[in-house]
């Protein structure tokens, strides 16, 4: 790692870059001494000392009681990330729920909430207000009250223009061109929280980050995370980096055309994977005595998934056939993805997790049959262990990560506040 | 750019790394002075002078007559890549031809050859001998006789284990586990050319490199190149880097499962894109009076493509229907790829180029209809301008590129030879 100690950029820019570099070094090496940071970065000890003082002032770094092992000289004081003063909050809004996860700087979970909410029926403005209320509640929680907020991320099932925080197209929410970041920012300012850093991203992308950083296959360099909600999306981590494509629209696995003249999809097309194996489609085929065959009104997805699991465990042939069929289509979708990207792991999340005992066996069989490379190209197919909070958690983690890279402003110094 | 001037590695390794760094700097900045190289790399002027002398001795760099513009002091001599002493050769073997392209260090084409050859009927051993003969002929060409050989690359339509140069599976050639690099290396040693650097790679990957470096959409950072031979493959350049996947098996677009219980594919499965829209499948459907409906013997693909173009121009309804149908399937394949990867451009190569006037309109229409992001996510669909030599050319370019990165050994000093 090379510190930036000279160059054409202004002093302030250099200082901020160096703050990020020192912060990252402490994150990776903690507990570590100032001397180690100087050695690893190439910065002078005086510069490191000044930057560390700054980072301590901002609540990002703290000194530990532990002393560096040194053979000679004064015992060194060790540095580590300060996990007690700051928090990052990730929200997810999906068709039938809002999820909230708060983490500290070590990405440890501070609290998790899951609230059922009919987002589609509510419409975008009521959804933005629901997100604001959820956020204010978390900020007011005793566990959070002493912490300053690093920022807030919002996961949305749809195409996002992340530069502006606008949801371009989220058919399952019926949002089209909704400037979510601006709206939520204004609502929070009115509620006494102006200037909060807000990021908006696709739910599958953020779920993939959570899976890569904290799932049971964490650090698998080529990993695909597939959301299992009413919609299906894929977060593609290739070589540990999110593959977003030229316009940020990569990973739309739910809308690959799998069956000519197939069933109608929420996007207006026919035969998309989502229309064949999305959770809404699966439930309507599994529970014909309870649900209408075509999407009309919203359904209580969580309760219907529970009922489907119950009936599957009891051996209900209609349910088993619907799950077998959906697993087969998921297998064709996964085979397509694996033929194109050759990942090491495909992880199914969301409501696919409770349905996995029935979906994954046919899915794996089709994958094995339709991947050109032997042994599915070495790809493992699993259910996620993260549940419905994956995207919210990944968003909170992404905020912590963004601190190092300058993508997120550093929190102000507490002495100045 | 930072030169390596100290560290734990041995002197020889450091020297070689620095040779690569200086070579890359000269390639990017040429014509440039030694002083500029020193400034750009952080190496001392003495080190740069010594390395430049070494690179000149190896035939990689030369001094030009041109003098650096300097206000004061001695006029500097300018450096540039030496394009007169070395050559890199790319070969491609496909179902019905062998292509050869030789380039100099500036990636300028020295010669191109295209030879019809029934590779499938010949079998792997005869193919290796054919490649050796083609290579010896090129090495003996008056245009090449004074040049030393940097290395040779071979493009093959199949799954490659590039570490060992083994063709794991190339169904259209009927090669399975053929150690092509070892065999060709032995044949060349017997012919008086021992120790040649040999790389084996997938034809679509190398075609994508040629398209990215020298096609009409060169430098498009998210670009997919699709081979149009008997087989279909995709080379995926994301953010300017080849996406190979965890085992090197990415880009198998030809074997995504598009039609349940569809026509038989050369890979043994049914309904793969290749079985619906590969050139062999298209020709058999377009020319039912000339060709059998199922693959039995090899066909003269080039002549059959010419006949198809002739009949299409004359308005033959059977031909037009076959091309329309194939274009539609290519559109479904491209829509799948674009939904997943959101590239800026998809370029069809090989025999798809002469057929493009009939294939691309239905392909573009289906793409527009089946990509979830508006306006196909900004993706452009074109025919390649590189013809059947794309993969061979890309392989030769990849060899020149590998010089900088240490992936290929530097040529020996001429004075030592």
Residue for token pair 């009076």:
B289
B63, B81, B99 - which closes a domain: B81
**Same domain flag for B222 and B354:** yes
**Same domain flag for A141 and A251:** no
**Same domain flag for A250 and A317:** yes
Tell which B residues from 320 to 359 touch A, by Cβ distance under 8 Å. 332, 335-337, 339-344
Within 10 angstroms of residue A195's Cβ, the number of other Cβ atoms is: 9
Give the length of chain A.
417
Q: Do A257 and B335 touch (CB under 8 A)?
A: yes
Q: Do B342 and A245 touch (CB under 8 A)?
A: yes
Residue A416 in contact with partner chain B when CB distance is under 8 A: no
A411 located within any domain: no
**Same domain flag for B381 and B264:** yes
Distance CA B350, CA B225 (A): 10
pLDDT digits (tens, 9 = 90+) for A73-111: 555 689 999 999 999 999 999 999 999 999 999 999 999
Cα end-to-end span (Å), chain B:
32
**Same domain flag for A29 and A165:** no
Question: Which CATH number does the domain housing residue A346 bear?
Answer: 3.30.420.40
User: Chain centroid to CA A78: how far?
Assistant: 32
**Same domain flag for B46 and B111:** no
- In this structure, are residues A3 and A44 in contact, taking their beta carbons and an 8 Å threshold? no
Helix (H) and strand (E) counts in chain A: 13, 16
CB-based contacts of A43: which residues, under 8 Å, 6+ apart?
A3, A5, A18, A21, A22, A37, A51
Distance CA A148, CA A59 (A): 9
Q: For the sheet with A223-226, list strands across it.
A: A241-242, A234-238, A223-226, A345-348, A380-383
Q: What is the pLDDT of residue B8?
A: 44
Distance CA A293, CA B201 (A): 49
Q: Do A374 and B236 touch (CB under 8 A)?
A: no
Q: Which residue has the higher pLDDT, A95 or A146?
A: A95
CB-based contacts of A146: which residues, under 8 Å, 6+ apart?
A85
pLDDT digits (tens, 9 = 90+) for B176-187: 999 999 999 999
Q: Which ipTM did the prediction report?
A: 0.92
Residue A249 in contact with partner chain B when CB distance is under 8 A: yes
CB-based contacts of A126: which residues, under 8 Å, 6+ apart?
none
Residue A321 Cα, gap to closest chain B Cα (Å): 18
Q: Which of A70-74, A365-369, A390-394, B387-391 has the lowest mean pLDDT?
A: A70-74
Nearest by CB: A378 against B159, B244, B247: B247
**Same domain flag for B282 and B350:** yes
Residue B113 Cα, gap to closest chain A Cα (Å): 31
Q: What is the pLDDT of residue A6?
A: 42
B2 located within any domain: no
- Cα–Cα nearest to A117, from A136, A138, A153, A92: A92
Q: What is the pLDDT of residue A7?
A: 43
Q: What is the pLDDT of residue B74?
A: 58
* A174 backbone φψ class: left, alpha, beta (φ>0; ψ -120 to 50): left
Q: Do A332 and B257 touch (CB under 8 A)?
A: yes
Omega before residue A31 within 30° of 0, cis: yes
**Same domain flag for B190 and B152:** yes
**Same domain flag for B93 and B197:** yes
Q: What are phi and psi of B222, to 5 degrees?
A: -115, 95
Residue A251 in contact with partner chain B when CB distance is under 8 A: yes
**Same domain flag for B232 and B138:** no
- In this structure, are residues A157 and A173 in contact, taking their beta carbons and an 8 Å threshold? yes
Residue for token pair 């190439």:
A42
A214 located within any domain: no
Distance CA A142, CA A245 (A): 41
B306 located within any domain: yes
Q: Do B335 and A377 touch (CB under 8 A)?
A: no
Residue B211 in contact with partner chain A when CB distance is under 8 A: no
Range of the domain at B243: 218-385
Residue-wise over A214-223: b if at least 16 C-beta within 10 A, else e?
Answer: bbebeebebb
Residue B333 Cα, gap to closest chain A Cα (Å): 9
Mean pLDDT of all residues in A151-155: 97
Q: What is the pLDDT of residue A329?
A: 98
**Same domain flag for B166 and B269:** no
Looking at the structure of chain A, the number of domains it has is 3
Residue B284 Cα, gap to closest chain A Cα (Å): 23
Local structure of residue B254 (DSSP, 8 states)? G
Nearest by CB: A257 against B2, B245, B370: B370
Residue for token pair 């040049």:
B147
Cβ contacts of A257 on chain B, cutoff 8 Å: 332, 335-336, 370
A65, A81, A97 - which closes a domain: A81
A42, A65, A81 - which closes a domain: A81
- In this structure, are residues A235 and A207 in contact, taking their beta carbons and an 8 Å threshold? yes
Q: Could you say which residues of chain B have pLDDT below 70?
A: 1-10, 66-76, 415-417
**Same domain flag for B225 and B325:** yes
């Amino acid at each position: 790692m090379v510190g930036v100690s000279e160059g054409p950029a202004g002093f302030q820019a250099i200082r901020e870059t160096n703050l990020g570099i020192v912060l990252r070094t402490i994150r990776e090496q903690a507990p570590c001494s100032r001397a180690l940071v100087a050695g690893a970065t190439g910065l002078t000890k005086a510069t490191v000392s000044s930057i560390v003082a700054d980072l301590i002032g901002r609540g990002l770094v703290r000194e530990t009681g532990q002393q560096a092992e040194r053979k000679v000289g004064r015992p060194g004081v060790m540095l580590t990330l300060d996990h007690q003063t700051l928090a990052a909050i990730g929200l997810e809004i999906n068709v039938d729920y809002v999820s909230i996860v708060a983490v500290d700087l070590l990405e440890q979970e501070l609290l998790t909430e899951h609230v059922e909410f009919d987002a589609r029926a509510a419409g975008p403005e009521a959804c933005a207000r629901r997100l604001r209320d959820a956020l204010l509640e978390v900020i007011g929680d005793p566990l959070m009250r002493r912490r300053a907020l690093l920022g807030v991320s919002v996961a949305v099932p749809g195409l996002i223009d992340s530069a502006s925080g606008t949801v371009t197209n989220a058919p399952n929410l019926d949002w089209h061109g909704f400037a979510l970041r601006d709206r939520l920012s204004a609502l929070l300012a009115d509620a006494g929280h102006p200037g909060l850093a807000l990021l908006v991203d696709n739910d599958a992308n953020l779920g993939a980050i959570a899976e890569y950083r904290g799932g049971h296959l964490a650090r698998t360099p080529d990993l695909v995370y597939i959301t299992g909600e009413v919609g299906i999306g894929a977060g593609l981590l290739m070589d540990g980096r999110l593959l977003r494509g030229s316009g940020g629209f990569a990973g739309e696995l739910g809308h690959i055309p799998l069956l000519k003249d197939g069933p109608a999809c929420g996007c207006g097309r026919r035969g998309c994977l989502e229309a064949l194996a999305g959770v809404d489609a699966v439930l309507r085929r599994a529970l014909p005595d309870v649900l209408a065959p075509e999407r009309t009104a919203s359904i209580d997805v969580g309760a219907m998934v529970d009922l489907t699991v119950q009936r599957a465990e009891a051996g209900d042939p209609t349910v088993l056939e619907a799950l077998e069929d959906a697993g087969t289509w998921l297998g064709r979708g996964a085979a397509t993805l694996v033929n194109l990207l050759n990942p090491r792991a495909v992880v199914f999340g969301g409501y696919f997790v409770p349905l996995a005992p029935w979906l994954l066996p046919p899915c794996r069989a089709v994958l094995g049959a339709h991947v050109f490379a032997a042994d599915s190209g070495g790809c493992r197919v699993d259910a996620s262990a993260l549940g419905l909070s994956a995207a919210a958690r990944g968003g909170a983690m992404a905020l912590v990560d963004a601190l190092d890279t300058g993508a997120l402003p550093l929190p102000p110094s507490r002495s100045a506040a």
